[in-house]
Structure 1
Amino acid sequence: MDVVLAELVERGRGLVTRSVAEQVVPEWILQRARTNGELVRVLPEVFAAAHLLDEQGGRACTSPLSRIGPDLGRRAVAAWLRERGAFSHLTALDVWGLRAQLPGDLLHVSAPVASGLRNWPGVRVHRRRHFTLVPPSVLVRQGLPVTTVERALVDSWPMLSPGEQRTPMIRAVNDRLTTPGRLQTALDQTARVAGRSTLRTLLARLADGCRSPLEIWGHERVFTGPGMPTFQRQVRIRLGRRNVYLDLYAEPERVNIELDGATTHGDPRQREIDLRRDAQLAALGILVVRFAHRRLVREPETVRREAVAIRATRRPR
């Protein structure tokens, strides 16, 4: 490869655009690099070093863009967009750190109708009316233009399998990237969303304070309903220099019910952390009662009765 062109590709960390290359080398130099198999066009006007392409064509994909890693692929798309669009949908979830895309996955961008962008092998362009490319609609994250986390989550909801849908939503709220209220606003502003009623139910549970699939299960099938007193969810308590959040807290009786997920079962380190926290809460007069995933799922009525009985024993006489 021409020395000057090779330096441009190195500076671009494996990428170069036609507009940048033709500022310093003749067009025939770029063309020769393509003919010699040193550069591959992955998008209009965007070229990648050929040695960076997966020779196996991961997951039987034939698009050159789909044969480079996700990070390089996103940078290539950003160079192609030239401020005419932003990453959205499942690709935006990846940029926000909520769900990783795999090599060969379709990259999603949103753009105004008048942008002139069209689908390209490996890229899906979602053209939208009234879509603007400035804050608050589009932000910059990891150096890339991306739709807001709320928009990305709502747009991605119909694209995910039922078993995957809740995880990015719950994680975004737990990581304080958004709130149930902001997600509800984004949903209300979206005309058509497949599975809207299911999403509304999830957002209602998140607004109630549920912060895991197990807590949602407990809310719907165990800790609400006739005879079950009201609990506060995700109550913040100061322990030394840190804050902890109580799953279900009955303040009058000072009882905290913790729901232990299946992944924590048998983890000695997590068990030690939990016991230390429980002891600190006990010093404040708060009784901690833990119910394991297995019991919640298999014995919901027994757990209900135990929770009611424990609260009753703690009531002032």
Structure 2
Amino acid sequence: MAIDLVELLGADGARRSADVVEVVGPASVTRWVRHGRLLRPLPGVLVLPSRAGTWRTRAAAATLWTGGRLCGRSALYLSDLVADPGPLVHVAVGPARHVAVARPDWLRVHVGPAPSGPVAQGLPITADVDSLLTAWGHAHARRGTPREVEVARGAVIGACRRKRVAVDHLQEELAARSRLPARRALGHLLEQIARGCQSEFEIWGLTELLDVPGLPPVQLQYALQTAIGTVHLDAVIEEVQLGIELDGAAYHRSPDNWARDRRRDSAVLARGWVTLRIDHARAHRDPPATQEEITRAHWARKATLIARPPQQRAVDGRSSIILPPK
């Protein structure tokens, strides 16, 4: 009877050799390997030749061989915290697992405390905090690349923004990992996130744009109650009711997002606030001119508020709100 190898090896195209032998016997496995119908990329693991070069099959093979869990960027990909897994497969194993044999160049094995975590998309992974720290360490190690650093930073920012991890939890774990590469840089990034930064543009803007000499300090991620609900402004100068929105390079080009921003601006205006929007390209092209624009907006707002009659001013206990005339 003909054996369907695709069905035999399953959806990932990878299975332990011992499990296949148990079904079809050792002679068939030996013959299929000799004829190239099956491959052994790792000891004790069989894969389909047509799938051998795919990331998913390599990831499955790595977990079958090591008995470990996918970690770092590999785990972040499966848990939807990065857009692509990159060219490597990262797997975490406990100290008792001996993996000293030669490994393929696509595989990185991280030895440490016995890993734990959930199953994501059918494969075992480490918990988000551990995955983030492993990705950060690998990206900043000797063989790391600028692209991997960019991905690791984006994953940390995104995980905190989406509340997948708490900033203080990451800070606690970071404090316990004294040998993590670039741990000071990660600590600084977490401090900026804790202040309210939710993107690389906001982090850059905090030091390069928003700290304007002669102006009051800005508040980040300011919550303003409006007719359409709570609007979180990227930054505000509260005393003049000026909101500053940092429009990212891609997000705000979407027609749907553009319409959403206009609706937010109208709701903010109805509360007596105005919004100054700063786009990514203009800010990076000429930071001093952008700071001058913020300065002019601040003083224009200050002059406007001073000119308002006293009966149009009220205090809600948190900020000065300009009420529309009755």
Q: TM (normalized to structure 2)? A: 0.78
Consecutive aligned runs of 4 or more in structure 1 exceeding 6 Å deviation = none
Q: What amino acid is aligned across from residue 52 of structure 1 in structure 2?
A: R
Task: Tell me if the contact between 1:222 and 1:303 (Cα under 8 Å) persists in the aligned partners.
Answer: no
Distance 2:157 2:228 in 1: 26
CA drift at 1:70: 1.3
Distance 1:274 1:257 in 2: 12
SS at match of 2:235: strand
The answer to whether the Cα contact below 8 Å between 1:214 and 1:259 also exists between their aligned partners in 2 is yes
1:174-229 CA-to-partner distances (Å, cap 9, x unmatched) read: 22222322222222121223323322222111111011222112211232364332
- For 1:75, the equivalent position in structure 2 comes to 60
Q: Kindly tell me: are residues 254 and 308 of structure 1, through their superposed partners in 2, closer, same or farther at Cα, counting changes over 3 Å?
A: closer
After superposition, residues 1-317 of structure 1 pair within 5 angstroms as 2-3=2-3, 7-9=7-9, 11-53=10-52, 67=53, 69-82=54-67, 85-99=68-82, 100-102=84-86, 105-118=87-100, 120-121=103-104, 122-128=106-112, 131-134=113-116, 138-157=117-136, 158=140, 159-161=144-146, 162-224=149-211, 226-237=213-224, 243-263=230-250, 267-297=254-284, 298=286, 299-313=289-303, 315=305
One-letter amino acid of the structure 1 residue matched with residue 94 of structure 2: P
- Return the alpha-carbon distance in structure 1 between the equivalents of residues 6 and 75 of structure 2: 31
CA contact 1:295–1:303 (8 Å) conserved in 2: no
Q: 1:242 to 1:75 in 2, by over 3 A?
A: farther
Moved more, 167-176 or 295-304: 295-304
Amino acid at match of 1:231: V
The separation in 2 between residues aligned to 1:243 and 1:33, in whole angstroms, is 63
Which amino acid is the alignment partner of residue 118 of structure 2? L
Cα distance change of structure 1 residues 15 and 110 upon mapping to structure 2, 3 Å threshold: closer
Q: CA shift at 1:40, angstroms?
A: 0.8
Structure 1 unmatched ranges of 5 or more: 54-66
Q: Deviations over 1:22-77 (max 9, x none)?
A: 22222111111111211111222111122334xxxxxxxxxxxxx2x112221222
Contact 1:14 1:52 survives alignment (8 Å): yes
In the alignment, the residues of structure 1 paired with residue 13 and residue 281 of structure 2 have an alpha-carbon distance, to the nearest angstrom, of 50
CA distance in 2, matches of 1:314, 1:268: 32
TM-score (norm 1): 0.80
Alpha-carbon deviation of 1:116? Answer: 1.9
* Residue aligning to 2:319: none
Partner AA of 1:76 in structure 2: A
* Alignment correspondent of 1:64: none
Give the counterpart letter for 2:33 in structure 1: R
Asked whether the 8 Å contact 2:12–2:56 carries over to 1, the reply is: no
Query: Aligned partners of 1:6, 1:194: CA distance in 2, in Å?
Result: 42
Return the alpha-carbon distance in structure 1 between the equivalents of residues 293 and 73 of structure 2. Answer: 38
Task: Report how far residue 247 of structure 1 moved.
Answer: 0.6
User: What is the number of residues matched between the two proteins?
Assistant: 293
1:4–1:25 Cα contact (<8 Å) kept: no
Instruction: Compute the displacement of 1:285 (Å).
Output: 3.1
Q: Secondary structure at the match of 2:250?
A: helix
More moved, 185-194 vs 206-215: 185-194
- CA RMSD of superposed structures (Å): 2.8
Please tell me whether the aligned partners of residues 252 and 315 of structure 1 are also in contact (alpha carbons under 8 angstroms): no
Instruction: Check 1:6–1:166 CA distance in 2 against 1; reply closer, same or farther (3 A cut).
Output: closer
Gap change, CA 1:278 and 1:147, over 3 Å in 2: same
Q: Structure 1 residues 98, 25: CA separation in 2 closer, same or farther (over 3 Å shift)?
A: same
State, as a whole percentage, how many aligned pairs show the same letter.
28
Q: Residues 260-283 of structure 1, C-alpha deviation per residue, up to 9 Å, x if partnerless? A: 223356654433221122112222
Give the match's secondary structure for 2:115.
coil
